[in-house]
Structure 1
Amino acid sequence: MNKEPQVLIEQPNGRHTLYASVEQDDRTAYLYLFPAELQSKKYKMRACWLRNLLPAPEVKDLAAMHNGTAPMLQRKFCNHPDGKEPLKAELLEIVWLPEDDGAAVLYDGEILGVIPGWSLYVDEAVSYAADCTGVEGDDFLVLPLGDPETNQQYARVGEAVAFRNQWSTVEEPAWPQIQETFINCYEQQFGKMLQYFAIDNNEWPPMAMGKFEKDNVVYFLTMGASIRPMPWVSYLYNDTSAAYRRMELALAVDKNEFSEEEIMKMAESIATMADIPWRHISWLGEGHTIGSSKLPAPYESMILSSALYNGEAFALPEMYGDKVNLFWASPVTQQEREFAHRKPNGGYELLEIMIQKDATHVVKKRKAVL
C-alpha cells in the first residue's frame, strides 16, 4: 500500500493565480505547478519529477500512471538507479520566475527542478530536473537540467533569485530610484508632475501613476508595471522577447472635450489595467483591447497602441536591460472592439483605420471609424 503523498512546501505566486508545491510519497518526489480555481479552465497542472526514493524501474512506470499515482523515472534516465533518501522539507525553497508563470525548487541552495513559464502554454508539459540524465523519443517524464553551459534555465533561475533578493529588503531601495527616473523622463516631456497616485493596492511590486498637463491636454502615465516581465511573451517571441515583455500605460485627454470627472474615470481605468498581465496570466501589446465600465458613452473599451503617439519622440528608461514599451490607451466603441476581435491581429487593422481618420494618442470626441 503506497503512502499518501505529503506536501513538503507550497507557495503561491504574487497574485495567487498559480501555486507551486513539492509532494513526496514513499516512492517519488515531485514539483507541481497548479492553477487557482479561476485559472483552471485556461491552464492545466504541470508536474516535474525530482527523484526516486526506491530502486528505479527498468521500463516506464505505467502501473503508477494507471493507478493515478506519481510515476517513478526509469533506471536509464536517472542518476540514482538505486533510489535516493527522501527530501527534507526544511532544505526546500521555491523560487518564482519574475513573470510569475513558472517556478523552480531549490534544495539546500541548488536547483532541483524547474517548470518554465512557457510550459503552461504548450500541449505537452515541459520540465527540467537535476537528477534526470537523459531522454529518448517521447518516452520521458522530464528533461535533464544538465549544466549552466548547456541549459539557460540556470541563468533564468539565477536571475529570479537575484531579482527576489533585490526586492526582499524592507526598505525596497530599488523603487525610489526607478520612480525618480520615470518621473524625470515624464517631466521632460509633459512638464511638472501635478499629482501622484499609488496604484498597487499595497501589493508588490510598487506601481504608481503620475498626472501632467501640457497645452490643454491632461496626461496620465504609469510607472512600476515594467518591473516585472509579462507572462506569455517569452513563449510568443522567443529570442526577441526582451523587446516586448515590459510595458507602461499612458492616457492623454483633451481638457476642452471632456469633464474633469470623465477624465479621472478614464485615468482610473488605466490604473486598473496596469496589473492585468499578472492577475490574468496574460500580456498587453500593440492593438490589444480591454473592456472598461468607466468610459463615457459610446465608448466601452480601450485599445492600446504606441503607434497612435504623434508627439515629440522619447524613450522610457530601460528596466533590467530591457526596452520598456509605452502603450497609449484610446477609447473605442463596442462595434470597433468587435471588429478588432474578428480575426488575429484585428486590433492592428482597427488602429490603421483610426490613424487614417486622424486619431492620435490624444483622446478627443470622435465619430465611430467603422
Structure 2
Amino acid sequence: MGLFSRNNKIEKPEVVLELRSPSCPITAIVEQDNRTAYFYLFGDNEDFGVKSCWIRNLTVAPEEIEVKLMEKGVPPMLTKEFCKFPQGQETLNKDNLEIVWLEEGDGAALLENGEVLCVIPSWGGGGEFYGYARDCKGEGYFAWELSVDNEMYKRVKSAISFEKAWDDERNPFQLLQPKILDYYDEIFGKSEKYYAIDNSEWPPKGLYVYEGPEKVVFATVAVSLRSQPKIEMYFENPNEVNRIELGIILKSGLTNEQTNSVASFVSGITAIPWDYITFLAEGHTIEFQTLVSEKFKYGVLTNKLKVLPQMNVPAYGNSKTNFLWIVPVSDTEWEVMKESGSQFILDKLDNIGEEIFNLEREEVV
C-alpha cells in the first residue's frame, strides 16, 4: 500500500550510487524517491549504525517537518525555510555523481560534476547534526549549509589527492617505507628482519624487527599513511594524534616462535582503528595475546616513559606521526587502569626503568 503526501504517491526510494569504504566496514549509498534525495553511511557494526544527510528536495518544499512520514520510515523533505531551492531541483543522475571517502574512511562526500553536494564527517549523521549540504541554507533539521569557507572542501580535496597518489609511479607507501626503515636502522641498529603485515590488501604496511644482544624491537612501518577514524570527535588538535606507528621492546632471548607471535600480535593491533572505527592514543589499553607471557596479558600504549626512545618518525606529506609504544601490563595492573585511569600505573612503570621490557618483572601494584 502506497503512502500519500499532499496527493502525491511516494515512490519507493531507489539506490542511485553505492560505494564501500576502502578502510572501514561502512558503505555509502545515495538514494532518492520522487520527492527527496539522501546520502547514507551504513556501518556493519551497531556502534556506527546508519548516518544520513539530506541532499536536495526534488519537488516543492513543505512548510512543516513531515513527522508522520518520518514515523513510517519515509525520508523527509527539508522544510522551505532551510532550502536554497524551495521549488525543488532536478533528480540526481548517477553519471554525474561521485562518492569520495575522507582519508579516515569513516566519513564521505558526494560530488556532482566535481562539485561537493554534501558531506557526512565522522561527527555527523544524526542527533542535532547530520552533515553539510550545498543546497541547504542555515542549520536545517537534516543538514547544515555547506558554506564556501567550510573546512570540508579542503578535506575532500586532500582525500582526492591521496586517492590519486596511489596511481603514481611511486605511491605513498613506496615513498615512506624506505625513509622509516632507514630511520629505524639508525635508531636501533641495522635489521635484516622485515614482515609485510597487510595480507596483500590495501594499504600496504610492514613490521621492522631488530634482534639486539639485549633487546628485541618491533616497530610498524607506514601504518601512519592513514589518519585514524573518530579522532576529531575527541581531540581539539586531531592532526597531533591521528597518525600512528606502534612498537614494542622486549628483553632478548625470544624463540623464533615467540618472535613470530609478537609480530603477529602487533600486526593485528594495526588494524583495530579502521576495522572497529575507533582510534588508539596515549594511555589506551589493549589485549596482549602472545606466546611470550602468561602473566602479562594486556598492554598500555604510551610514549611518556623516560626509558622509551622518543621517536621522530618520518611522516607522509605535512602530517605528524605519533609513535606509541606497547608496554605489557598484568591483569592486576590493567584492573587498576580500568578503575583509576592509566596514569597511576604509568608513573609506577616509569620508576622501574628498563624492567618494563622484562616479562619476568614484578607487578607494580
Q: What residue is the counterpart of 1:157 in the other structure?
A: 156
Match of 1:324 among 308, 312, 321: 321
2:13 corresponds to 1:5: yes
2:116 corresponds to 1:111: yes
2:278 corresponds to 1:282: yes
CA distance in 2, matches of 1:184, 1:164: 26
Deviation at 1:30, TM superposition (A): 0.3
2:25 corresponds to 1:17: yes
CA distance in 2, matches of 1:361, 1:91: 57
Matching of residues 63-102 of structure 1 within 5 Å: 63-102=68-107
Which of 198-207 and 12-21 deviates more?
12-21
Matching of residues 327-366 of structure 1 within 5 Å: 327-343=324-340, 346-359=341-354, 362-366=357-361
Look up the equivalent residue of 1:330 and give its one-letter code. Answer: V
CA distance in 2, matches of 1:274, 1:225: 7
Q: What residue is the counterpart of 1:182 in the other structure?
A: 180
Look up the equivalent residue of 1:279 and give its one-letter code. Answer: D
Deviation at 1:118, TM superposition (A): 1.9
CA distance in 2, matches of 1:308, 1:361: 10
Q: What residue is the counterpart of 2:364 in the other structure?
A: 369
8 Å contact 1:309–1:361 — kept in the other structure? Answer: no
Q: What residue is the counterpart of 1:192 in the other structure?
A: 190
Counterpart secondary structure, 1:117: coil
Look up the equivalent residue of 1:283 and give its one-letter code. Answer: F
TM-score (norm 1): 0.90
Which of 6-15 and 290-299 deviates more?
290-299
8 Å contact 1:199–1:209 — kept in the other structure? Answer: yes
CA distance in 2, matches of 1:99, 1:311: 28
CA distance in 1, matches of 2:74, 2:300: 47
Counterpart secondary structure, 1:299: coil
Measured against aligned partners, the alpha-carbon deviations of 1:267-322 in whole angstroms (never above 9, x if no partner) come to 22111111110011111111211113314211212221112352564411133322
Deviation at 1:225, TM superposition (A): 0.8
Counterpart secondary structure, 2:361: coil
Structure 1 alignment gaps of length 5 or more: none
Structure 2 alignment gaps of length 5 or more: 1-8
Q: What residue is the counterpart of 1:203 in the other structure?
A: 201
Matching of residues 141-152 of structure 1 within 5 Å: 141-147=142-148, 150-152=149-151
Which of 151-160 and 9-18 deviates more?
9-18
Q: Structure 1 residues 210 and 361, CA, compared in 2 at 3 Å: closer, same or farther?
A: farther
Structure 1 stretches (4+) deviating beyond 4 angstroms? Answer: 311-314
Identity between Structure 1 and Structure 2 (%): 33
Instruction: Give the length in aligned residue pairs.
Output: 356
Measured against aligned partners, the alpha-carbon deviations of 1:142-175 in whole angstroms (never above 9, x if no partner) come to 100011xx21111111111111111245x55222
Deviation at 1:115, TM superposition (A): 0.4
CA distance in 2, matches of 1:177, 1:264: 27
